Amino acid sequence: MTKQQKTLLLVLMVLVMITLNADGNVMAPMLSRIEADFGVNDDAIGNMMALFTLVGAAVSLLWGYFVDKASRKMLFVLSVAIGEIPCLLTYWAPNFTVFYILRILTGIGVGAAFPLVFSILGDIYDEKERPFTTAVLTTSFGLGNIVGTVVGGYLGPSLGWRLPFILVSVPNVIFVLLFMVFVPEPQKAASEEATKELVAAGVLYPKTIKLADYATLVKVPTNVWLFVQGIAGTIPWGAFFFLNKFLETEKHFSVEVATTIFLVFGIGMVIGTIVGGKLGQLVFVKNNRMLPVFCGITTLFGMIVTLGVILVNLSVPLMLISGFLAAFFAAMTGPNMRAMLMDVNPPEKRGAIFSIFNLTDSLGNGIGRWVAGLISVATTLTISLAVSVSFWTICGIVLVTIGGIFIRDMKHMHEQLAKVAEEMKRSVSRTN
């Protein structure tokens, strides 16, 4: 794959994932209106959004298996279609039951796309490039939140809550068509030091995922610890689904001001992701053992700033600055987590590992939305969000302690790939 093709593939994946993530977040600024229209409360919405993420994650486990066996290009196109068609149909939802079902179907498409994009990324960029390129791809989550917030928050009040669902789903028709026409099928193990020259010469990477391999994934300690912190780390992000409503009802900002604060929060998330990936790349090159420690420190700092935003009454300018900094520091961890997973798992298992990682992330996200909705009904959204954000403490503790484990697992993966490379060389010798 040429440099231009790699860049085009990355850009199109980012655009597609922005739109898919906008699908999931577009209703957040319109939450009060949707609840009033259908006669439901935060608890019902929290349950729905928890299922949105959990069902999508469960489907991604199945998808993760096929990712390493079938055409990833066509699976990606199918995933987008599964997500976007129900999102489009949400415009015509006559009642909350139909609305509920269409939201869950959209979540399936979002979940199915997740293991695909990171499996593909791992095969086109090497381990030194992965923290930054993973950060670029990860920005699609934050940018999707921004797009969904802008469309729902600024257009929803004047155009109604239904039309934004059409506006965030239609663009992916164009992006997917471009992806189908201009992007070639990525070659497995094309970026690994031990195998890239062989793959470039036309030798096929021989390893494929088997069902039994799923059990081996939890035998890699780095995987297990990143799963644990993934669950804890996404609980706050799940709870932030209610951030717009919190700003309106408990901070007493208007819908437009609340949307602007949320937008700045999203911008901080995007910039933090990019900066975190770049700094993570520099840390990795200088001392790869320190990458998890760097992530733990930024996570804990992000937690402290975020708690300040929630618990302290701030003016609009201070809220904008603090919200930006909170999201900036909290988001620095995400791309490096995904880069580390690529670094300790061989190419044939990356679809599977990211499907499991998506499950743990979605589990935390779903728990966050469910718990936040439940606690808000029993107490206040202030308490609900503060409790949720405190889960970042677990992440910080885990990450600052696993540097040695990460290095051992990465070394073991390199040894595995060296053996596969020898097998590929022998196969070439036998055919000559």
**Tens digits of per-residue pLDDT, 268-297?**
988 999 999 999 999 999 999 999 999 999
Element (H, E) at 131: helix 130-150
CA distances from 42 to 190, 374, 378 (A): 47, 8, 11
Distant-in-sequence, close-in-space partners of 240: CB < 8 Å, separation ≥ 6: 265, 368, 385
Measured in whole angstroms, the distance separating CA 63 from the mean position of its chain's CA atoms is: 16
**Tens digits of per-residue pLDDT, 146-177?**
888 788 888 888 888 999 999 999 998 889 88
In sequence order, what DSSP letters do the residues of 268-333 get, joined into one string?
Answer: HHHHHHHHHHHHHHHHHHHHGGGHHHHHHHHHHHHHHHHHHHHHS---HHHHHHHHHHHHHHHHTS
What residue type is assigned to position 133 of the chain? T
The Cα 347–Cα 209 span in angstroms is 9
112 and 83 in contact (C-beta within 8 Å)? yes
Percentage of the chain exceeding pLDDT 70: 99
Q: What is the pTM of this model?
A: 0.77
Q: What is the pLDDT of residue 318?
A: 92
Q: Which residue segment(s) compose the domain that 384 sits in?
A: 3-431
Q: What is the pLDDT of residue 5?
A: 83
Residue listed under structure tokens 């499907």 = 355
Element (H, E) at 28: none
The enclosing domain of 218 has a CATH number of: 1.20.1250.20
Checking if the pLDDT of 140 tops 70, the result is yes
255: nearest Cα among 158, 166, 324, 382 = 158
Q: Can you list the alpha helix ranges (DSSP code H) found in 28-129? A: 31-38, 42-67, 72-89, 96-124
Percentage of the chain exceeding pLDDT 90: 35
189 and 197 in contact (C-beta within 8 Å)? no
Mean predicted confidence (pLDDT) in 333-348: 90
User: What is the 8-class DSSP label of residue 27?
Assistant: T
CA distances from 201 to 168, 187, 279, 289 (A): 42, 11, 34, 33
| Number of structural domains found in the chain | 1
